[in-house]
Amino acid sequence: MAARLRVRHQNDIREKIRAGLLVKRLEDHVVEDVPMADSQVRAALGLLKKIVPDLQAVENSGDPDAPMHMVIGWANPQSK
């Protein structure tokens, strides 16, 4: 018997499927001239905003006299 997916995982998959369907419908409306009412477009965009996070620009700023030093990589516990 196959193991059950975690409930949280199932919800994530459902949200992705719904988002995919909304995007496909909006693409068809724009590219293939599939008719949609204004209210349908607004509703689809509103739902997408709740499902898919917006990408935002992030600026890292600090004191120019004491600049930050950021190292990204694997931690090496032997180097201490």
Q: Give the pLDDT confidence of 61-73 residue by residue, as tens digits.
A: 778 888 877 788 8
pLDDT in tens, 15-33: 777 888 999 999 999 999 9
Confidence of residue 77 (pLDDT cuts 50, 70, 90): low
The helix, strand and coil proportions of the chain, stated in percent and rounded to the nearest 5, come to 50, 0, 50
Alpha helices for the chain (secondary structure H)? 7-31, 38-51
pLDDT band at 43 (very low <50, low <70, confident <90, very high): very high
Residue 2's pLDDT is what?
56
